Amino acid sequence: MSNIAVVVRYIAQPDKAPDALTAVRELVATVLAKEPACAGIEILQDIANPESITLIERWPDQATFLGPHMQQPHIQAFIQSAGAFLAGPPDISFHSIAGAA
C-alpha cells in the first residue's frame, strides 16, 4: 500500500529536455520493474516549460524512498549520468495522501 507521494522536480539543461525525458522514462521503467515497494510513478512535463519534468511517485514511507530506493544501482547510475542533461539536483518533497472528503 502506498502511504506517501514523493514529488521529484527535475530541470533539464537548455535544449536537453528530450534527453532528460528519455533518461527519466528509462529510469522509471526500471524502478517499476525492479522495486516492488513502488506503487506507481507518473511523469509530467510542463507544457509552457518543457525543461521542467516532474515525477509523482507512490511509496509506503519516506524511509523506503530515502533508504533502499536511493541505494539501488539504477538510481546511483542515473545520478552519475544526470549531469549531462540536468541543470542540477532535483527538488524532492514528501506528501501524505489525503483521502477524498
In the chain the first and final C-alpha atoms are separated, in Å, by 20
Q: What is the pLDDT of residue 1?
A: 53
Query: Residue 98 has what pLDDT?
Result: 82
pLDDT in tens, 27-80: 999 999 999 999 999 999 999 999 999 999 999 999 999 999 999 999 999 999
Residue whose C-alpha cell is 507521494:
5
